[in-house]
């Protein structure tokens, strides 16, 4: 099924529901879905779609700009792993009689040492957690160094900063002043990390997203909108 908007045909998927009382439209990736109460006429559905067509088109265009998920790494020798916006080559060394795998950074590249018995198909399972652990440890130190330059201007300090796994958020600020940062944000360029850090620090003053909140961010990072846009377009690439 589709609607005609100018010279453009916009396909959509129609789902019927006996629980809904009104029509609903959602756009996810390149897919438009319409959920309609049982018995809704085709004319009523088309009227709503035509009314919402400019919005639907805008949503689809925005999704087209977004870079897809990065291809999942296998953690084989020669692959490149990101950290703070740069890619560093990985070298995997097999060692006889080694019991535990090791992961480190030396002379501009990642070095992983694994047992000789470990199969290449098992590399990701073993090395991904070690890579995540390395990034988290470095991120903790990095954040502490960046923190002072921002807290001096804000005159606010978090009670604690924690780097952790967050599936849907780049960062969050709790009511008691603790800041949680997604470890993956440290795969992005430094300026983008700064934006997320300042964003959460600004919540120490304003827990909402009011004009005052955004003005606080702009006071510290005048070009924060560029970093916000970078994340919108490239954020999926940080899931490796």
- Residue-wise pLDDT for 86-120, tens only, equals 999 999 999 998 999 999 999 999 999 999 999 99
Confidence of residue 80 (pLDDT cuts 50, 70, 90): very high
Sorted by where each begins, the domain ranges of the chain are 2-65, 80-238
Burial of 221 (0-12, 13-18, 19+ CB in 10 A): buried
Confidence of residue 215 (pLDDT cuts 50, 70, 90): very high
Q: What is the pTM of this model?
A: 0.73
Q: What is the fold, at CATH topology level, of the domain defined by 80-238?
A: Zincin-like (3.30.2010)
Closest CA to 199 of 186, 218, 183: 218
- CA 138/CA 173 separation, integer angstroms: 21
- CA 90/CA 198 separation, integer angstroms: 31
């Amino acid at each position: 099924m589709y609607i005609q908007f100018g010279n453009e045909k916009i396909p959509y998927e129609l789902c019927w529901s006996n629980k809904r009382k009104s029509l609903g439209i959602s756009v996810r990736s390149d897919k438009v879905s319409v959920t309609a109460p049982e018995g809704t006429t085709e004319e009523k559905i088309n009227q709503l779609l035509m009314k919402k067509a400019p919005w639907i088109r805008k949503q689809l265009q925005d999704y087209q700009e977004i870079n897809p998920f990065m291809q999942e790494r296998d953690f084989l020798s020669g692959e490149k792993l990101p950290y703070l916006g740069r890619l560093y080559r990985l070298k995997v060394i097999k060692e006889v009689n080694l019991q535990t795998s090791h992961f480190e950074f030396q002379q501009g590249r990642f070095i992983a040492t694994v047992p000789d018995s470990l199969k290449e198909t098992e590399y990701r399972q073993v090395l991904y957690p070690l890579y995540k652990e390395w990034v988290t440890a470095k991120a903790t130190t990095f954040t502490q160094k960046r923190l002072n330059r921002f807290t001096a201007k804000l005159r606010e300090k978090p009670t604690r900063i924690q780097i952790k796994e967050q599936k849907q958020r780049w960062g969050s600020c709790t009511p008691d002043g603790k800041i949680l940062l997604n470890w993956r944000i440290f795969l992005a360029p430094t300026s983008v990390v700064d934006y997320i850090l300042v964003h959460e620090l600004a919540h120490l003053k304003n827990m909402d997203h009011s004009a005052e909140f955004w003005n606080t961010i702009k006071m510290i990072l005048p070009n924060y909108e560029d970093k916000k846009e970078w994340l919108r377009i490239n954020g999926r690439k940080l899931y490796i």
